[in-house]
């Protein structure tokens, strides 16, 4: 009989790899009985991996994740979402007011208010890297919740933000904000999210971890074929994803959001170590995590192909 | 009027009334009226446009969202888990709180030891501890129960030991003077005497439990009114946000009504 | 200034409390109201003082209140009704402030009434520092401060122990002798009524109606050692009331 | 012993004592002892390893973090804004709450109209409304003041009108019987009489204000104890998280002490 | 069973309340304790009942309590001390339950004491439905239920109005005549003391010490209409107390 495991997920398209693998039975084929645990935010999910309540999950690298790795609780074992040239990725936004005041490109945000959820979040990282590249200063405003940021940018209380395309595009479409740049211009191979698990699983449950990654990779392949490469039926894939994302909207209103949210998921869960190292160094330079933490404490490179090294 | 009034002539006047007031007269319809006026005003404002769509949702849209929730059956899928969390968490927190409160009320040493601890725990924001709750109690229902229980615990303790302190000491002396055992005095005099105070403390504790539902459902909840509100908030979907808030509000009014009913039944001996 | 009650009847919701009360309170006399518990004595007093309105009948002031009278109808309550957060002085100045009497004028009045009630030393004490008898003397001083035409006293002594009660009764008599005041004095203590009243109005059980009016002509100062005539009146009053009391003690209160 | 006791022989015994108890005897050191024991236990547990580093931080590390905060001067950079938010927000909420509470207590129509509204607002979780606060009050200090004010408002209203209801009616009748004006009665009798209830209500309101500091500083606060705790939580930095929580806890104990002092000074007339 | 007090002195913190009290309570007699307010009467009674311990001296039970006596020293409190959430029946059964008297046995006892206090019809009423006099009769019934050797009564009638008080005094006398009980009866009403006491112990102002012990030999049943002898004793007691009362009325309470 199959081994029962728990997989943590947020109801975002970026988690589609797991959804597809589950729906199409790839996990079952790999000998796993997967049960999803859904979260409202990434941070409790990371803690749940650390506490052993959840076995595997996909999330952005954050200061919290690094801290948990530092405490010996978790390991990054693979890559998931990444920026890729030619695929619509995360966007820099300017509020209507800022745009009208002359903010047409990211570099015009000099001295302006840039929204982040928290210090050490991926938003903070993207803004900070962009500012460094442009040689400008940003004022980071922590607003905790995506909803609060949307409210703030719509009412012109913050000037800039960076966010995934399926949120960026409808916002721009409604005329409340303007897209002024792509994150990939500044962070070309940005490893946005990674697959991670508890240190215990990574070290002592090799078989199970490999099975998970195998199933997950198959899901990713199907997703990419349907949504990016156009070699499989997109409608069927949208139907599948709609079971998990935007469930309370009718199919026809959910579909554009799902399609807009399409981004590259690393094939074979390959992990871009250079990007991860860059993120870690940034956290350390910002004093958000302990300066002594090494990349070895954060990742276990023994499971997947390592790229960008 | 009798003849004897005549000698006073015009200097005869009725005593001026100067009492009354300072005691509330119920006007049941007023409460409803205020709600209706408020809702109509917002509806009008959002339609006329001087209340922007960002500021407040249109009440009719909230109602429609509510209708959808009802029709799709999602209402009960959200309400079910939330209610069970509320009931289990609040029951845990309240019963523990009443227990500890009574111990604090009865024993000097426990009071001296736990009183300051409770006072120090009270102002700790539960949401600050969310990450720890995951470690301590997992991501299942356990952490949700624990969070709500924790939030209801402290106010219940404070209310309960206040209530025990307020039990008429002359009744306790009476019990002692008839040689009642310590346990009889606690069971038959202290507990019933503290009941009014405990129940009115529960009013506040249960309101807090409802408030904490949202925080609790930040922790890996798929369904639940709190989760629904959080999701609506993160999408800045005001109609759904308000639909959820209205449900919590109704829940609050209902619990408070339930306590009023219990009070009427259990405390009918009050003057 | 006299007071006249004409056909006063009253009901609270469904409870008839008073029925057809007619009576006069002549100037300079003390009228005692006695009657069983719950018969409506306090209610009647509130009507006289204008704090409540009867469902039927009316209360008339006959003649004008004398010059310098700030509050013609002034209560002295059983529970003293002192503001616990004000000193003795503050409690008295409270009732002067609204008549724009402040500063030296207020000081003079307060010093005067405190002297009359033998409280001069305690002007700055808080109510919680006072014994029951002193609190009631403060309440009386406060009533005197507004120079009332009629004092309305609702069991003013019943919260006190019997020794203090006797002392205060003596004090009241001394006050009256020095300067006769008009008063309606509610009590359920017949000895008190016989000691203080020029006229004793006996009410029946609820709904209260006038059962008898007893006049006592003996001067207040001479009633000290109970004479035979007073003793007879007391016994008569007691006979009037005993049955009512017995009956009342066999009834459940409104549930 | 006198001779007269002899006839009773051995059947002479002292009356058995059966009173006492049921009234707390203070043991000041107990409270401190409990804290010390608890802290030593956690220190020992984290050192010995049976309390994992994920579960609780080592108290000595928390203290060290506290020391760093102090040395770097960051403590006051965080404490300053939080205190000003607390003071302004709580002052706004409490004064509005007292005002509305008194109006509800005094006027039947206002009570009938606003009473149910307040009851419906009470169980609304403030964090659910965070996105709206951004729109309504911006992301500057305004929204932080507003959130804390909103949170302190409802409990203050409820406590205040309860306190006004409890003002001894016989004192009000006394005022009327002396022909005092309505305003005099309110100012000189109702307000001072309601003060004890209002102050004890403030104890709860201020604890809630401290709790809401964290929620308020979710909205674009760079400095502040709440922001510090949130950041520590998101970085899963337990030492800093607990250092922040301890600060809030101390803040709570201090405010409650301050109210006790005000009570002693303003309410010295109480028996 | 007699009670003997030997050299009782007591202080609360710095306040000396009682000083060197020696007295006896002989079986079958009613001993009245009178004295000015605050002189320590209630405190002394609590010592006798074992609810508090004096700082010096001791209270002795001489002889054994009679057969079937559940609670030898039983209080009747001024404020009745009835549990408001229990009916009359429940309030009495409360004190039997701890002695494992339930069911039929309890019913019999309760019916008996209710009959003796004329409350049989009100067994299921709640305290809030009862008048003051009835409440005190319930408290007396409850005391009788445990068949006390000594009843300790702390101003049992002072919360009642004077008519009800007179009725209950008659009731107590009837009860005593039917079956003499031992009692220590605290009061500040001298008339009550003279009406009920076989022995009247007069305490001085605080710190309370025994000022005089007055014996009254006239049988209780014959004291109805105040005879000359009783009148004389009353006047004597009154003289003893008047000065104390006057002095007490000129003192601020402990601040
Ligand atoms: N505000 C009120 N509403 C309803 N009933 C009332 C109110 N005030 C008094 N009563 C009732 O009216 C009756 C008369 O009350 P009142 O206080 O005048 O009696 P009383 O003669 O003063 O009695 P006592 O001697 O006990 O003071 C009582 O039965 C009482 O319960
Ligand atoms: N628990 C206590 N702690 C401190 N002081 C007390 C306590 N109980 C009583 N006292 C004080 O002891 C004195 C005697 O009190 P007690 O109640 O015995 O007087 P009393 O003679 O019964 O008075 P009263 O006639 O007013 O009932 C009073 O001054 C009182 O304030
Ligand atoms: Mg009355
Ligand atoms: Mg006493």
Rounded to two decimals, the ipTM of the complex is 0.84
What is residue B5's predicted lDDT score, i.e. its pLDDT?
44
Write down the number of H helices and E strands in chain B: 11, 1
User: Looking at beta carbons, which residues of chain B come within 8 Å of C59?
Assistant: 14-15
Q: 3-class DSSP state for residue C245?
A: helix
CA of A97 to the centre of ligand 2 (A): 76
Asked if pLDDT for residue D2 goes beyond 50, the answer is: no
Q: Which of E51, E70, E94 is closest, CB to CB, to B176?
A: E51
Chain A residues at the B interface, defined by Cβ less than 8 Å, are 8, 11, 37-41, 43-45, 47-48, 50-51, 53-54, 64, 145-148, 150-151, 154-155, 248
Residue E243's closest chain C neighbor by CA?
Answer: C163
Which atom of ligand 2 is nearest to E37's Cα? 25
Phi, psi (5° rounding) for residue E250?
A: -120, 20
What is residue A45's predicted lDDT score, i.e. its pLDDT?
85
Best of B167, B175, B179 to substitute, by most chain E Cβ atoms within 10 angstroms, is B179
CA of C188 to the centre of ligand 3 (A): 9
Asked if pLDDT for residue B9 goes beyond 70, the answer is: no
Q: Is the CB of E38 under 6 A from ligand 2?
A: yes
Helix A206-227 crosses helix A16-23 at what angle (to 10 degrees)?
Answer: 100
Assigned token pair, D227: 């922001």
The pLDDT tens digits for B191-241 are 999 999 999 889 889 999 999 998 888 877 778 999 888 888 877 788 889
CA angle, residues D236, D237, D239, in degrees to nearest 5: 140
Whether E and A touch (3+ CB pairs < 8 Å), yes or no: no
Question: Which residues numbered 15-74 in C keep a CB inside 8 Å of some CB on E?
Answer: 36-37
Q: 3-class DSSP state for residue C131?
A: coil
In terms of Cβ atoms closer than 10 Å to its own Cβ (0-12, 13-18, 19+), residue A44 is buried
The residue contributing the CA closest to ligand 1 atom 18 is: C40
Tell me how far apart the alpha carbons of residues E87 and E83 are, in angstroms, rounded to a whole number: 8
Q: 3-class DSSP state for residue B2?
A: coil
| β-pair partners for E5 | E23, E59
Alpha helices in chain D (DSSP H): 28-48, 59-71, 74-106, 108-121, 130-137, 141-165, 169-177, 182-185, 191-216, 225-234, 238-266
Q: What percent of chain B has pLDDT over 70?
A: 96
Distances from the Cα of E34 to the Cαs of C191, E31, E176, E211, in angstroms?
A: 21, 10, 20, 10
Tell me how far apart the alpha carbons of residues A242 and A155 are, in angstroms, rounded to a whole number: 30
What is residue B1's predicted lDDT score, i.e. its pLDDT?
40
Q: Which of E77, E85, E128 is closest, CB to CB, to B192?
A: E85
| Residue E33: alpha-carbon gap to chain centroid | 9
3-class SS shares of chain C: helix, strand, coil, % to 5: 40, 25, 35
Q: From the CB of residue A66, how many other CB atoms can be counted at a distance below 10 Å?
A: 27
Q: Are strands E30-34 and E199-203 parallel, antiparallel or unpaired?
A: parallel
Q: Is the CB of E42 under 6 A from ligand 2?
A: yes
Q: Are the beta carbons of D231 and A120 closer than 8 angstroms? A: yes
Distances from the Cα of B42 to the Cαs of A297, D154, E116, in angstroms?
A: 55, 22, 70
The pLDDT tens digits for D94-116 are 999 999 999 999 998 888 888 88
The residue contributing the CA closest to ligand 2 atom 5 is: E12
What is residue E158's predicted lDDT score, i.e. its pLDDT?
82
Q: Are strands E150-154 and E15-25 parallel, antiparallel or unpaired?
A: unpaired
Assigned token pair, B78: 């959200």
Residue C133's closest chain E neighbor by CA?
Answer: E249
User: Looking at beta carbons, which residues of chain E come within 8 Å of B188?
Assistant: 83, 94, 97
How much is the mean pLDDT over chain B?
A: 88
Asked if pLDDT for residue D70 goes beyond 60, the answer is: yes
Q: From the CB of residue A280, how many other CB atoms can be counted at a distance below 10 Å?
A: 21
Q: Which one, of A131, A58, A41, B229, lies nearest residue D230 by Cα? A: A41
Q: Are the beta carbons of A40 and B232 closer than 8 angstroms? A: no
Question: What is the rounded radius of gyration, in angstroms, for the C-alpha atoms of chain A?
Answer: 19
First to last CA, chain D: 43
Q: Are the beta carbons of C175 and C156 closer than 8 angstroms? A: no
What is residue A120's predicted lDDT score, i.e. its pLDDT?
82
CA angle, residues D127, D253, B215, in degrees to nearest 5: 20
Q: How confident is the model at residue C233 (pLDDT cuts 50, 70, 90)?
A: confident
Tell me how far apart the alpha carbons of residues C164 and E36 are, in angstroms, rounded to a whole number: 9
Tell me how far apart the alpha carbons of residues C161 and C135 are, in angstroms, rounded to a whole number: 13
Q: From the CB of residue A83, how many other CB atoms can be counted at a distance below 10 Å?
A: 23
Which strands, in side-by-side order, build the sheet including E2-12?
A: D12-14, E56-62, E2-12, E15-25
Asked if pLDDT for residue C81 goes beyond 50, the answer is: yes
| Residue B148: alpha-carbon gap to chain centroid | 13
Q: Are strands C210-215 and C199-203 parallel, antiparallel or unpaired?
A: antiparallel
Q: Which one, of E44, E49, E50, lies nearest residue E23 by Cα? A: E44
Q: Which of A72, A121, A158 is closest, CB to CB, to D139?
A: A158
The pLDDT tens digits for B39-58 are 999 999 999 988 888 889 99
CA of E59 to the centre of ligand 2 (A): 19
What is residue D3's predicted lDDT score, i.e. its pLDDT?
44
What is residue D220's predicted lDDT score, i.e. its pLDDT?
79
Higher confidence at residue D268 or residue D96? Answer: D96
Q: Are the beta carbons of B153 and B209 closer than 8 angstroms? A: no
Residues 6+ apart with CB under 8 A from E160: E132, E133, E136, E168
pLDDT in tens, chain E (255 residues): 899 999 999 998 888 999 999 999 999 999 999 988 888 999 999 999 999 999 999 999 998 888 888 999 999 998 899 999 999 999 999 999 999 888 899 999 999 999 988 899 999 999 988 888 889 999 999 999 999 999 999 999 887 777 788 888 888 898 899 888 999 999 988 888 999 999 999 998 888 899 999 999 888 888 866 577 888 888 888 888 877 777 777 777 754
Interchain contact D55–C (C-beta under 8 A): no
Q: Are the beta carbons of C44 and C57 closer than 8 angstroms? A: no
Asked if pLDDT for residue C255 goes beyond 50, the answer is: no
* Residue C146 DSSP label: T
What is residue D148's predicted lDDT score, i.e. its pLDDT?
94
Residues 6+ apart with CB under 8 A from D142: none
D239-266 mean pLDDT: 91
Q: Which one, of D199, D172, D168, D184, lies nearest residue D97 by Cα? A: D199
Closest-CA distance of chain B to residue D10, Å: 24
Q: How confident is the model at residue B133 (pLDDT cuts 50, 70, 90)?
A: confident
Altogether, the residues listed in chain D come to a count of: 271
CA angle, residues C83, C84, C90, in degrees to nearest 5: 60
Distances from the Cα of B46 to the Cαs of B43, B50, B55, B57, in angstroms?
A: 5, 6, 9, 7
Q: Do D139 and A144 touch (CB under 8 A)?
A: no
Q: How confident is the model at residue C138 (pLDDT cuts 50, 70, 90)?
A: very high
HEC sequence for E226-251: CCHHHHHHHHHHHHHHHHHHHHHCCC
How much is the mean pLDDT over chain D?
A: 88
C150-158 mean pLDDT: 91
Residues of chain A where predicted confidence (pLDDT) is lower than 50: none
Residue B14's closest chain C neighbor by CA?
Answer: C60
Q: Are the beta carbons of B41 and B33 closer than 8 angstroms? A: no
The pLDDT tens digits for D154-211 are 999 999 988 998 898 899 999 999 999 999 999 999 999 999 999 989 988 999 999 9
Of all ligands present, the nearest one to the C-alpha of E162 is 1
Residue D213's closest chain B neighbor by CA?
Answer: B125
CA of D260 to the centre of ligand 2 (A): 28
Tell me how far apart the alpha carbons of residues A217 and A16 are, in angstroms, rounded to a whole number: 11
Which atom of ligand 1 is nearest to C13's Cα? 4
Q: Are the beta carbons of A22 and A45 closer than 8 angstroms? A: no
Tell me how far apart the alpha carbons of residues C59 and B109 are, in angstroms, rounded to a whole number: 62
Q: Do B139 and A151 touch (CB under 8 A)?
A: no
Q: Do E253 and C163 touch (CB under 8 A)?
A: no
> Considering Cα of B2, then B3, then B9, then B10, what sign does the dihedral take?
positive
- C132 CB-side CA count, 13 A: 20
C30-38 mean pLDDT: 89
Pocket of ligand 1 (CB under 6 A): C 12, 15, 17, 35, 37-43, 188, 206
The pLDDT tens digits for B64-123 are 999 988 998 889 999 999 999 999 999 999 999 999 999 999 998 898 888 888 888 888
Interchain contact D169–C (C-beta under 8 A): no
Q: Do C163 and E128 touch (CB under 8 A)?
A: no
User: Looking at beta carbons, which residues of chain D come within 8 Å of E74?
Assistant: none
Tell me how far apart the alpha carbons of residues A168 and A151 are, in angstroms, rounded to a whole number: 13
Place of tokens 């993207």: A126
Q: Are the beta carbons of C151 and C181 closer than 8 angstroms? A: yes
CA of C206 to the centre of ligand 1 (A): 9
Q: Do B171 and E85 touch (CB under 8 A)?
A: no
Chain E residues at the B interface, defined by Cβ less than 8 Å, are 49, 51, 70-71, 73-75, 77, 79, 81, 83-86, 94-95, 97-98, 126-128, 142, 146, 152
Place of tokens 């490179």: A301
pTM comes to 0.86
User: Looking at beta carbons, which residues of chain E come within 8 Å of B267?
Assistant: 85
Q: Is the CB of E188 under 6 A from ligand 2?
A: yes
**DSSP states of E91-126:** HHHHHHHTTT--HHHHHHHHHHHHHHTT-GGGTT--
């Amino acid at each position: 009989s199959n081994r029962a495991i728990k997989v943590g997920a947020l109801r975002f398209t970026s988690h589609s790899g797991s959804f597809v693998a589950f729906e199409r039975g790839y996990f079952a084929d790999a000998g796993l009985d997967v049960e999803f645990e859904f979260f409202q935010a990434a941070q409790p999910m990371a803690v749940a991996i650390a506490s052993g309540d959840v076995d595997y999950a996909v999330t952005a690298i954050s200061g919290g994740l690094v801290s948990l790795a530092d405490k010996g609780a978790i390991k990054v074992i693979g890559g998931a979402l990444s920026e890729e040239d030619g695929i619509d990725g995360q966007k820099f936004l300017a509020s209507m007011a800022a745009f009208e005041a002359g903010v047409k490109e990211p570099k015009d945000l000099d001295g302006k208010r840039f929204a982040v959820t928290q210090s050490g979040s991926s938003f903070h990282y993207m803004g900070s890297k962009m500012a460094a590249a442009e040689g400008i200063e940003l004022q980071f405003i922590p607003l905790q919740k995506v909803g609060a940021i949307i409210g703030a940018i719509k009412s012109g209380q913050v000037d800039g933000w960076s966010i995934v395309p399926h949120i960026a595009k409808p916002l721009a479409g409604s005329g409340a904000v303007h897209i002024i740049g792509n994150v990939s211009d500044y962070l070309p191979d940005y490893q946005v999210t990674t697959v991670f698990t508890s240190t215990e699983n990574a070290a002592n449950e090799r078989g199970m971890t490999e099975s998970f990654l195998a199933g997950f990779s198959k899901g990713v392949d199907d997703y990419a074929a349907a949504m990016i490469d156009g070699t499989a039926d997109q409608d069927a894939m949208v139907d599948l994803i709609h079971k998990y994302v935007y469930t309370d909207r009718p199919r026809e209103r959910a579909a554009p959001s799902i399609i807009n949210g399409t981004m590259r998921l690393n094939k074979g869960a390959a992990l871009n170590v250079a990007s991860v190292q860059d993120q870690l160094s940034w956290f350390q330079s910002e004093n958000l995590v302990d300066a002594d933490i090494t990349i070895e404490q954060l990742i276990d490179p023994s499971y997947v192909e390592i790229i960008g090294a | 009027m009798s003849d004897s009034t005549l000698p006073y002539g015009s200097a005869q006047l009725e005593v001026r009334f100067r009492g009354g007031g300072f005691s509330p007269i119920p006007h049941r319809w007023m409460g409803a009226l205020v709600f209706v006026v408020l809702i109509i005003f917002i509806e009008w404002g959002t339609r006329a446009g001087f209340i922007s769509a960002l500021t407040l949702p249109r009440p009719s849209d909230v109602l429609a969202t509510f209708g959808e929730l009802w029709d799709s059956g999602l209402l009960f899928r959200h309400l079910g888990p939330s209610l069970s969390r509320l009931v289990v968490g609040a029951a845990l927190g309240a019963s523990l709180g009443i227990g500890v409160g009574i111990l604090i009320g009865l024993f000097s040493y426990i009071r001296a030891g736990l009183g300051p601890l409770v006072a120090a725990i009270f102002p700790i924001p539960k949401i600050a501890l969310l990450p720890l709750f995951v470690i301590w109690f997992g991501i299942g229902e356990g952490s949700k129960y624990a969070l709500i229980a924790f939030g209801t615990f402290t106010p219940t303790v404070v209310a309960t030991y206040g209530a025990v302190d307020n039990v008429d000491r002359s009744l306790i002396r009476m019990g002692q003077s008839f040689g009642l055992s310590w346990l009889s005095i606690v069971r038959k005099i202290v507990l019933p005497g503290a009941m009014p105070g405990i129940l009115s403390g529960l009013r506040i504790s249960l309101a807090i439990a409802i408030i904490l539902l949202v925080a609790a459902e930040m922790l890996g909840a798929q369904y639940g009114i709190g989760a629904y509100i959080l999701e609506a908030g993160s999408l800045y979907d005001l109609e759904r946000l308000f639909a959820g808030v209205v449900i919590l509000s109704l829940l609050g009014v209902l619990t408070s009504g339930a306590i009023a009913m219990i009070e009427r039944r259990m405390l009918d001996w009050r003057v | 200034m006299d007071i006249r009650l004409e056909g006063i009847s009253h009901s609270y919701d469904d409870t008839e409390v008073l029925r057809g009360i007619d009576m006069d309170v002549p100037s300079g006399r003390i009228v005692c109201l006695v009657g069983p518990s719950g018969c409506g004595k306090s209610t009647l007093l509130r009507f006289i003082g204008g704090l409540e309105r009867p469902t039927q009948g009316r209360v008339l002031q006959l003649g004008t209140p004398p010059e310098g009278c700030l509050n013609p109808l002034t209560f002295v309550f059983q529970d003293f009704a002192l503001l616990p957060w004000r000193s003795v002085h503050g409690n008295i100045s409270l009732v002067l402030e609204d008549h724009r009497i402040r500063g030296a004028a207020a000081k003079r009045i307060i010093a005067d009434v405190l002297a009359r009630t033998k409280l001069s030393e305690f002007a700055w004490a808080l109510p919680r520092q006072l014994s029951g008898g002193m609190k009631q003397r403060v309440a009386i001083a406060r009533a005197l401060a507004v120079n009332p035409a009629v004092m309305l006293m609702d069991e003013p002594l019943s919260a006190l122990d019997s020794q203090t009660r006797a002392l205060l009764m003596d004090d009241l008599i001394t006050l009256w002798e020095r300067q006769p005041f008009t008063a309606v004095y509610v009590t359920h203590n017949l000895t008190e009524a016989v000691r203080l009243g020029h006229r004793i109005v006996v009410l029946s059980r609820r709904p209260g109606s006038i059962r008898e009016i007893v006049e006592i002509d003996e001067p207040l100062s001479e009633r000290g050692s109970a004479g035979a005539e007073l003793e007879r009146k007391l016994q008569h009053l007691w006979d009037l009331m005993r049955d009512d009391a017995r009956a009342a003690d066999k009834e459940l209160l409104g549930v």
